[in-house]
Structure 1
Amino acid sequence: MPANHRYSAQTALLLVACTVLASCSSLRSVSDSSINPVNWITPYKVDVIQGNFVSKEQVEQLRPGMSRDQVKAILGTPLMASLFHADRWDYVFTLKRQGVEPQSYKYTVFFKGDQLDRFAGDDMPSETDFIAKLGNKRKLGDVPVLEATEEQLNKAAGKPKSDAAATPAPASAPAGAATAVYPPLESPKQ
């Protein structure tokens, strides 16, 4: 290959590479939009739950003068109990879910000796409110009623309509119960 053809091929490849790179930067506005199919696919992110959830009902059970064991029975083991702050227990709860703002709740319990002195923290949601927040955003539609007529049951079992009405149930079986013969659980020894 002559030298001038080689330089013209390298120049052409360099121009093509520059054109492609320049077009990539102009596509940035398209890639940010919802039109781009790459934005339709999102990776699965695991829900991250850390700490102890303290509900409004649990906080309402706290009374000054309770022992540490009583507080632990109501609220559970504290997430943070410091050696430097032996009279303070911190209950921290965080929940991070895909597509939902992270939720964080903090509640602190203070002791004097072995007795509960005071407690303070975030306004805690009730258990029902918290569970309602956990509801999935996806709507799967109405759940169909799970009822079947006698005719549909017979059709699913593979019995003809007249055969089901003519076959009487044995005397030992309850009325309306169908009898079935099952194979043995273990194979015969050979």
Structure 2
Amino acid sequence: MAAPTRFPSFMSPLVLVAAATLAGCSTISSDGSLLGFITPYRMEVVQGNVVTQDMVAQLRPGLTGDQVRTLLGAPLLADVFHANRWDYVFTIRRQGAPAQQRRVTVFFENDRVARFEADSVPTEREFVASIDVVKPSSRKTVLELDEQQLRAIPVPAPSRSAQAPGTAASGPLRSYPPLETSVR
């Protein structure tokens, strides 16, 4: 019977380091934050055309492709294999806000709009409000003090260089050259 083989002595610290590294990976949560405290910066990703309710309201059967392009812009997807279909997809992913995706699909027959399908598209005001992720601060900035707060501020002690009342100012402590020459 053969004796069991032993790992070299340098392998046990290596195994411990590998186990600690793998355990450290599990502290990152699914939202990308480390233990809920540290969140990495995520770049804002905006793709496609913003299509509002006003634009969809102007879209109607019978418009030409050029008119649709003028109204909605260039489609994000105009497939070669489905030339009679234009897809307008808008997606935005911002840190601190849920991802948004909206679709408008226009179907053509003989270079004229036959029909269109649109998700619930917002008005322009609703769209601007939905992408505004500025969180209101719970702390209010005080811009002025009331009388009680003004009285609570300590009066600074007079400095040694302050002159006694009633004495005239003696002029500058240093002699500076004139700013402009008097010869013109």
Q: Distance in 1 between matches of 2:23 and 2:79?
A: 54
Query: Given the alignment of the two structures, is residue 42 of structure 1 paired with residue 39 of structure 2, yes or no?
Result: yes
Among all aligned residue pairs of Structure 1 and Structure 2, give the percentage whose two residues are the same amino acid.
42
Q: Distance in 1 between matches of 2:88 and 2:60?
A: 17
Query: Aligned match of 1:55 in 10, 34, 52?
Result: 52
Say if 1:72 and 1:28 are closer, same or farther in 2 by CA, change over 3 A: closer
| Superposition CA RMSD, Å | 3.5
Unaligned runs of at least 5 residues, structure 1: 1-10, 147-190
State the Cα distance separating 1:139 from its structure 2 match: 1.9
Q: Distance in 2 between matches of 1:87 and 1:50?
A: 22
Q: Counterpart of 2:83 in structure 1: which amino acid?
A: A
Q: Counterpart of 2:102 in structure 1: which amino acid?
A: Y
Q: Secondary structure at the match of 2:56?
A: helix
Aligned length: 134
Query: Given the alignment of the two structures, is residue 74 of structure 1 paired with residue 71 of structure 2, yes or no?
Result: yes
State the Cα distance separating 1:22 from its structure 2 match: 9.1
1:164-183 matches, cutoff 5 A: none
User: 1:131: which partner in 2?
Assistant: 128
Query: Given the alignment of the two structures, is residue 85 of structure 1 paired with residue 76 of structure 2, yes or no?
Result: no
User: 2:164: which partner in 1?
Assistant: none
Say if 1:121 and 1:18 are closer, same or farther in 2 by CA, change over 3 A: same
Q: Distance in 2 between matches of 1:53 and 1:82?
A: 20
State the Cα distance separating 1:53 from its structure 2 match: 1.4
Q: Distance in 2 between matches of 1:57 and 1:99?
A: 28
Q: Secondary structure at the match of 1:57?
A: helix
Q: Distance in 2 between matches of 1:44 and 1:73?
A: 36
Say if 1:88 and 1:28 are closer, same or farther in 2 by CA, change over 3 A: closer
Q: Normalising by structure 2, what TM-score?
A: 0.57
Q: Normalising by structure 1, what TM-score?
A: 0.55
Q: 1:61-113: CA deviations, max 9, x gaps?
A: 11211111111111000001111111110111111111322111111001111
State the Cα distance separating 1:46 from its structure 2 match: 0.9
